[in-house]
Amino acid sequence: MTEPIDAHFLRIVPRLVCGTSAPSQPLPWAGSILDADRCLELFDAQLGSRHLDLAARWLQGQGKGFYTIGSSGHEGNAAVAAALRPTDPALLHYRSGAFYLERARQVPGQDPLRDVLLGVVAAAAEPISGGRHKVFGHQGLAVIPQTSTIASHLPRAVGVAFAIERARKLGVASPWPRDALAVCSFGDASANHSTALGAINAAAYCAYQGQSLPLLLLCEDNGLGISVPTPAGWIGSAHGNRAGLKYFEADGGDLTAVFDAALAAGQWVRTRRAPAFLHLRTVRLMGHAGSDVEHAYRSQREIAADYGRDPLVRTAELLIGAGLLTPNEVLARYEAKRVEVLAIAAEVAKAPKLGSAEEIMAPLAHHVAANVTAVATAPAPRDGRWRMFGGTLPESEGPLTLAQAINRALLDVLAYHPQSMVFGEDVGRKGGVYGVTRGLGKRAGRARVFDTLLDEQSILGLALGAGISGLLPIPEIQYLAYLHNAEDQLRGEAATLPFFSAGQYHNPMVLRIAGYGYQKGFGGHFHNDNSLAVLRDIPGLVVASPARPDDAAAMLRTCAAAASLDGRTSVFLEPIALYHTRDLFADGDGEWLVRYAGPREWAATDAPIGRGRTHGDGGELTLVTFANGLHMSLRVARRLERAGVGCRVLDLRWLAPLPVEDLMREAEATGRVLVVDETRRSGGVSEGVVTALVDRGFRGAISRVTSEDSFIPLGAAALRVLLSEAAIEKAAMELVGS
């Protein structure tokens, strides 16, 4: 079926009046920087983008295409690509077809029409995602793929811009040129999302205090969020006069205006190293997507009126009016592009698709344990390590608490990985709420250990951008409950990037979070949160949960090594209640303090991802636990042993992936397993542990004890809903006696 906008173009172009200017004479747009040759090149990109949209509808009608969100009406963004450099990292929203085609034209050897159509049909040969999603992305074009572009990519864009400057300052390698800028496109409806507002605020905040941030924010304002209109003038009113953000605007249908505005905005960002907001007034043609029944919420008159704003018609008017092309020549180019695109579409429709779960999941399986161990157990050169620690190496200190061990391990990571940075709310001058990062800034420098604004989405976005820009970010979220404000930055951005780029892009990151319950004298559910379900079901995400000081140091070095080598994203959960714990069985015994291992001991104390640690060798009961549960379980195990019940305690240490081999070995050793889980009964860690035992065919007795399905209240009432030692001991005796 012919699309109305296609028929409109074919009907209108023959009526356009030819100009009399020859190409060598001054053109009607002589006031613009855009010349005739570039205009013809951009028109070709616009034509290609329009016919990609039409071909996507045709493929869908044939049952061979799976994506129809198009770029029609936004083809003016080709001029933005022309005004920038192909080495400027770009994070593009889903109406960026013309931008992508024009950028590819600037880099020899590209076949962008085929790239896009391979994505439409979900072909395994598609060059960025390998058929996992239709995205605009290409490593050779510095286009970072985005799948969820309802503003969730803006924090990452801020991070990329920040990292361009910070990598240069630190003298570490980056995939982006030293004078690059980051460009990020989004729609007017997305501009209202809290994620967008937070990112734009973070950019302006940095600029306001003199922090270099070369970021071009490109808002393509078509006036609609699917069916919800954006009030006229809203984008300009909201962003046109704010501190720290230079504002540019243009009619998105006028190619010369877009080019001139983009060139000016790009020059501002590149030379000032400061953010700018480029507002293009565009139009949406052919609805939101192929499944969108536009006349259900817009009148036919409104829809038809938009045809008059079609950027292809307006560029045709420009070219014909200047005497560069005749109407017939425009139509010939239009139809030639249709033939070219449809021929490719027919060909790629037959291309092989992803054929197995293993093939689909391949980008998630990029961990090489032996290589990670080699880096995790290798210290920085002695002189560099000596300087980082100020002349007093941690192995020469006395036994350390958990907080102190993490602090020393962070210094070791900073010493070994020159591209690493530690940042978050209060981590710099104050040294963290609990003192875990105290002194790091003095040792490593304020360029590598620094405070951020109070916004978890921006903290994670900074880490996302830094990770793909050659740095090793170690951000901190103050409390586990605060992560829930920003968890989509992990799920929808960090974890998906290697999957939807077929492993070409990764998000190296070690995200430190203070969490769990059992704090004394301080709390409420915002400071005592035991909800981990949101983390454990994210494919490819590593979740580390150390309890003892020695494990924490080794595991932190492992996470940093995995980030550096394999681009892994890890969440490092630190139990607040154990930060400063010194004793285990009795007051003053110092049994929870551990001496920091020197580099010669690191190989023997290595903590590979997905490997647990067993305490004790009793033969009657296995307690499986983690974090605060380890401290409680070891205490209960001693009491049980005195009662004649021999126990062993498996500290899982890694909650994703679970140490299944260790779990099965210790379960089979006793035939009885009690899972001691301080998280909630519903959605807690114990569900995964029990399932793993059942899946592997364990035939022994299994039981579990957990905290209640409740938020954690303030004060002593918290102990009414949190798992207790008494509950563990009671369940253990019942299991042994059954």
Catalytic site residues?
527
- Which of 465, 455, 453 minimizes the C-alpha distance to 214? 465
Residue 434 CA: distances (Å) to CA of 68, 210, 551, 571: 50, 30, 19, 18
Q: What length does the chain have?
A: 738
Residue 573 CA: distances (Å) to CA of 412, 530, 562: 19, 11, 16
Spell out the alpha helix ranges (H) of 179-326.
194-208, 234-239, 255-272, 300-307, 311-321
- Which of 721, 666, 731, 722 minimizes the C-alpha distance to 692? 666
Nearest-angstrom CA–CA distance, 632 and 626: 10
Give one word for 449, left, alpha or beta, with left for phi > 0 and alpha for psi -120 to 50.
beta
Q: CA-based angle 245:249:251, to the nearest 5?
A: 165
Give one word for 623, left, alpha or beta, with left for phi > 0 and alpha for psi -120 to 50.
beta
Residue 514 CA: distances (Å) to CA of 426, 476, 548, 600, 711: 13, 8, 14, 29, 17
* 3-state secondary structure string across 230-251: CCCCHHHHHHCCECCEEEEEEE
- The single-letter code of the amino acid at 405 is A
Q: Are 645 and 537 in contact (CB under 8 A)?
A: no
Nearest-angstrom CA–CA distance, 645 and 624: 16
Q: 284 is written with which tokens?
A: 């949406």
Nearest-angstrom CA–CA distance, 648 and 630: 11
* Helix 311-321 and helix 4-12, axial crossing angle in degrees, nearest 10: 10
Q: Name the phi and psi angles at 676, rounded to 5.
A: -105, 105
Q: Are 275 and 217 in contact (CB under 8 A)?
A: yes
Nearest-angstrom CA–CA distance, 269 and 273: 5
Nearest-angstrom CA–CA distance, 315 and 327: 12
Nearest-angstrom CA–CA distance, 287 and 93: 16
